[in-house]
Amino acid sequence: MVAAAAAIALTACSSGGGGAASTGAASGGSFSTVNKGVLTVSPYSASPPVITISPDGKLGGLIGDLINGFADQNHLTVQITQTTFASSLLYVQQGRSDMTPFIYHTDDRAKTVYYTASQFQLPVAAITKNSFAFNGPDSLKGKKIAAVLGEVWGPYFQKEYGDNVKLYQKDADAAQSLLNGQSDAYINSSLQLLNPPLSSQKDLIANPLKAGDAGMPAEIITNVAYNVVSCKNKGLATAFDTYIQGLATSGQLKQLYEKNGLPANFRITNPTAPSQGC
């Protein structure tokens, strides 16, 4: 589905449709876009408060504020091309969108897409009902575990717990399996407790995981969220980095965290890009 967001204020200059785009100095360089004058973004799922998608195709939440502000600075309107997590990286690789938000870093992914600077971090947890006696990874043995296809911790739990792990296409479906009793634990960021269908429940708890649980290294335990662009369009990432780093320096990023109700342990003070592979 493709829904166009409302046009926003224009302050710099940019273009696309096959040619390099000249941008203002505040954006940090030049870049191209799939369609002239448009920043095409391919979110895979809403996840308040970091990202929302309205019925008329507008991005909101923290990520929406950042992307819309960047587009505003660069004389671009924002257009949404909804996708699934499994397809989200392909959209930028194939030139179907300019940017996919809310992606975690892995060395393999970095060979196929180019990462922007970080936006926030998310600690991973085993989300269970309060009645579940969680006392570490051993308590998950023999239990049904839900995770989401493509998220970085899924393979670790599959290796550790085998067929007891089921990967779902969407966060909401994995969460619903916990509520329905189809799963005993849902592995994801504790952020999911703020999202439907879990946000309306009072009997859930996010049990923090630590390095070594299910064989996960420390960098998997606290995931950092980035946006990704095509390896052929690194200038777009450079421009976005300059924009978000400017927000951090001015204090506006902190204000956006507060506006969107992002918990303190999810915030970052120094947005940086991870190691790149392409």
Q: What is the pLDDT of residues 175-216, one digit of tens each?
A: 999 999 999 999 999 889 988 899 999 999 999 999 999 999
Residue 271 lies in a domain: no
Q: Is 119 left (phi over 0), alpha (psi -120 to 50) or beta?
A: alpha
Q: What confidence score (pLDDT) does residue 128 get?
A: 98
In this predicted structure, the answer to whether residue 165 has a pLDDT above a threshold of 70 is yes
Domain shared by 67 and 193, yes or no: no
Q: What confidence score (pLDDT) does residue 19 get?
A: 42
Q: What confidence score (pLDDT) does residue 1 get?
A: 30
Domain shared by 114 and 28, yes or no: yes
- Model confidence at 29, pLDDT cuts 50, 70, 90, reads low
Domain shared by 135 and 151, yes or no: yes
What residues contact residue 111 under an 8 Å CB cut-off, 6+ apart?
Answer: 277, 278
Q: Is 193 left (phi over 0), alpha (psi -120 to 50) or beta?
A: alpha
Domain shared by 94 and 49, yes or no: yes
- Model confidence at 6, pLDDT cuts 50, 70, 90, reads very low
Domain shared by 247 and 181, yes or no: no
The two tokens of residue 176 are 């619903």
12-26, 58-72, 77-91, 144-158: range with lowest mean pLDDT: 12-26
Residue 272 lies in a domain: no
The answer to whether residues 20 and 30 touch, using CB atoms and an 8 Å cutoff, is yes
In this predicted structure, the answer to whether residue 7 has a pLDDT above a threshold of 70 is no
In this predicted structure, the answer to whether residue 9 has a pLDDT above a threshold of 50 is no
Domain shared by 253 and 194, yes or no: no
The pTM of the full predicted model, rounded to 2 decimals, is 0.79
Domain shared by 95 and 190, yes or no: no
Residue 114 lies in a domain: yes
Domain shared by 27 and 164, yes or no: no
Residue 23 lies in a domain: yes
Mean pLDDT (whole number) for 73-97: 94
- The pair phi, psi for residue 189, each rounded to 5°, is -70, 150
Domain shared by 210 and 241, yes or no: no
- HSE (CB half, 13 Å, CA atoms) of 184? 14
Domain shared by 130 and 205, yes or no: yes
Residue 273 lies in a domain: no
Average pLDDT in the chain = 89
Residue 231 lies in a domain: yes
CATH code, domain carrying 46:
3.40.190.10
Residue 277 lies in a domain: no
- Model confidence at 260, pLDDT cuts 50, 70, 90, reads very high
In this predicted structure, the answer to whether residue 16 has a pLDDT above a threshold of 90 is no
The domain in which residue 177 lies consists of: 121-222
Domain shared by 250 and 215, yes or no: no
Q: Which 3-state string (H, E, C) describes 24-80?
A: CHHHCCCECCCECCEEEECCCCCECCCEEECCCCCEEHHHHHHHHHHHHHCCCEEEE
Q: What confidence score (pLDDT) does residue 3 get?
A: 35
Of 66, 58, 34, 19, the C-alpha closest to 239 is 66
- Model confidence at 150, pLDDT cuts 50, 70, 90, reads confident
Mean pLDDT (whole number) for 137-155: 93
Residue 278 lies in a domain: no
What is the total count of domains within the chain?
2
Domain shared by 74 and 160, yes or no: no
